Structure 1
Amino acid sequence: MIIDCHNHVGADLLFYLHGDFPYAQHLVAMHDEGRALGVDRWIVFPFVSHLALDISAFPNNEIKDEKGKLHDVPYAFENRRLMKEIYELFPDEGKSMLPFIMVDPMRNVAAQAQELRKLRKEYRFYGIKMQTTILQADIKHLRDKGKVFLELAAEWDLPFLIHSSVAESDLWAQASDILDIAEENPHLRFCLAHSCRYDKECLDRVQALPNTWFDCSAHCIHCEGAVKDLPYIAPRSRRFDSDYRDPARVIADLAAAYPKKFMWGSDSPFYSYAAEINHEVVRLISTYKTEVDALLVSPPSVVNCIANTNIRDYLKLDDESILS
């Protein structure tokens, strides 16, 4: 069995209105493309921006809260929309989905928790996803404003999957901050997305902490970023040692170094990214097939470990038949 542990379904008005790519993915299209490549199950969650932000500011790539909102509660619409798509609109494809809900740790958190309790009574979901960089909502709010999400995760025994960064300019999702929060909450489970941008110190902390994992989402364009020494990747002085010209080699090396902590995920459709940044078009382009091909170069035992058993351990789904 191959489980893809990191996928977005739905639409993102911020990316669409600002002119960035990608900005949408349909569940059935993701399912059909991935199934043809050999993927069996998908962890899925909504896109990043939510309707409780000022949509009128999106064309200027600005995050504001004052006006222009279509909803008062972050992700209330997006989470429910995802559940309906999985369980009601497309139940055949939905049987292969493991939905996570999205949360904003800074804005109207009490109302978010109330909506999630309602949702929990109607639908099953398997974890909690956060992408705080785009929201400009510091992940450290999990210690104060967003503490309710730690409490819900403990009550429902759900893991977190959190976008991580090591770039100095990213004030909101530092991998070291996420690891600090994980260390403070040993009763909860955390996955840091994007291989901690290949920061060896952070990866070694994941290895040391019993309640943390990492995923390799958007792996191939992160390898490209390493080859080009782009600022979103850990600098060479802190970078995990591998040959980043060969994404399959990097997967093999990460799996050897962190055999119980490494989870495979594509980050579909964000295995590709294109946008105008500082008046220059940035294009980092991969495909779902390229992501899967890099995985399948490894021996079947390694593939089974990083794309199946480690993910089920993280989810606490010990019996594979649960997913049948």
Structure 2
Amino acid sequence: MIIDCHNHVGSDLLFYLHGDFPYAQHLVAMHDEGRALGVDRWIVFPFVSHLALDVTAFMQNEIKDETGRLHDVPYAFENRRLMKEIYELFPEEGKRMLPFVMADPMRNTAAQAQELRKLRGEYRFHGIKMQTTILQADIKHLRDRGKVFVELAAEWDVPFLIHSSVAESDLWAQASDILDIAEENPNVRFCLAHSCRYDKECLDRVQALPNTWFDCSAHCIHCVGAVNDMPYIAPKARRFDSDYTNPARVIADLAAAYPQKFMWGSDSPFYSYAAEINHEIVRLISTYKAEVDALKASGEAVMERIADANIRAYLAGNPSNCGG
């Protein structure tokens, strides 16, 4: 079985209104493309921006929440919309989905927790996803106003999947901060997305902590970033040693170095990214097929481990969590 552990479904008004790509993905389109490539199950969650932000500021790529909100509770609409799509609109495709809910660790967290409890009473979901860079919400709020989400994860025995960064300019999602929080909460499971941007020190900490994993979401364009020494990738002095001109080789090397902690995920549709940054168009373009091909090149044993067994362990080791 191939489980893709990192996928967005729905739409993102911030990306759409600011003119960035991608800004949407339909569950059925993702399912059909992935099934044709051999993918069997998907961990899915909503896109990143939410209606409790000022949507009128999105055209200027600004994150505000004083006015212009379409909803008072972050992700209350988005999480419920995803569950309806999976369980009611498209139940056949939905049988292959493992939904996570999104949460904002900084804004109106008590109301978010209340909404999640309601949702939990109506639908099954398997984890909590956070992308705090876009929200400009420091992940360290999981120690204070966002601690309620850590408590819910422990109560429900579900893991976190958290966007991670090592770029100095990213004040909100540092991989080292996520690892500190994981170390402080040994009874809760954490996955750091994007291979910790290939930062070996952080990957070694994932290896050492019993409650942490990492995924390789958007792997191919991250390899391009490593080849070009882009600032969102760990600098060479801290970078995991591999041949980044060959994404399949990097997967094989990561799987060998971190055999029980590495999980495969595509980050669909964010395996491609295009936007205007500082008046220049940045295009990092890959395909779902390229992500799957890089996985399959490692052979059946590695594929079974990083795209099945490790993900099942992260989800709590219960095969029924993955539909089989």
Over 3 Å counting, the alpha-carbon distance change for 1:291 and 1:322 in structure 2 is: closer
What's the secondary structure of 1:237's corresponding residue? helix
Counterpart Cα distance in 2 of 1:67 and 1:98: 34
Deviation for aligned residue 1:299: 1.5
Deviation for aligned residue 1:323: 1.0
Counterpart Cα distance in 1 of 2:321 and 2:70: 41
Equivalent residues of 2:312, 2:321 under 8 A apart: no
- Structure 2 match to 1:82: 82
What's the secondary structure of 1:173's corresponding residue? coil
- Structure 2 match to 1:304: 304
- Structure 2 match to 1:199: 199
**Partner amino acid, structure 1, of 2:309:** T
Runs of 5+ unmatched residues, structure 2: none
- Structure 2 match to 1:270: 270
Counterpart Cα distance in 1 of 2:322 and 2:239: 38
* CA displacement, residues 12-53 of structure 1 (integer Å, 9 cap, x when unaligned): 000000000000000000000000000000000000000000
Bigger mean CA deviation after superposition, 313-322 or 101-110 = 313-322
1:107-256 maps to which residues of 2 (within 5 A)? Answer: 107-256=107-256
Counterpart Cα distance in 2 of 1:13 and 1:319: 36
TM-score, normalisation: structure 2: 0.99
- Structure 2 match to 1:257: 257
What's the secondary structure of 2:100's corresponding residue? strand
What's the secondary structure of 2:237's corresponding residue? coil
* CA displacement, residues 249-308 of structure 1 (integer Å, 9 cap, x when unaligned): 000000000000000000000000000000000000000000000000011010000000
1:93-108 maps to which residues of 2 (within 5 A)? Answer: 93-108=93-108
Equivalent residues of 2:126, 2:159 under 8 A apart: yes
- 1:23 equivalenced with 2:2 (yes/no): no
Counterpart Cα distance in 2 of 1:52 and 1:125: 22
* CA displacement, residues 75-126 of structure 1 (integer Å, 9 cap, x when unaligned): 0000000000000000000000000000000000000000000000000000
Counterpart Cα distance in 1 of 2:322 and 2:147: 31
RMSD: 0.8
- Structure 1 match to 2:323: 323
Counterpart Cα distance in 2 of 1:122 and 1:26: 22
**Partner amino acid, structure 2, of 1:145:** R
**Partner amino acid, structure 1, of 2:84:** K
Deviation for aligned residue 1:58: 0.1
Counterpart Cα distance in 2 of 1:319 and 1:287: 29
**Partner amino acid, structure 1, of 2:15:** F
Equivalent residues of 2:98, 2:322 under 8 A apart: no
Deviation for aligned residue 1:317: 3.5
Deviation for aligned residue 1:316: 1.1
Q: Percent identity?
A: 85
Counterpart Cα distance in 1 of 2:274 and 2:122: 37
Counterpart Cα distance in 1 of 2:317 and 2:51: 33
- Structure 1 match to 2:10: 10
Deviation for aligned residue 1:318: 3.1
TM-score, normalisation: structure 1: 0.99
**Partner amino acid, structure 1, of 2:134:** I
Deviation for aligned residue 1:322: 5.6
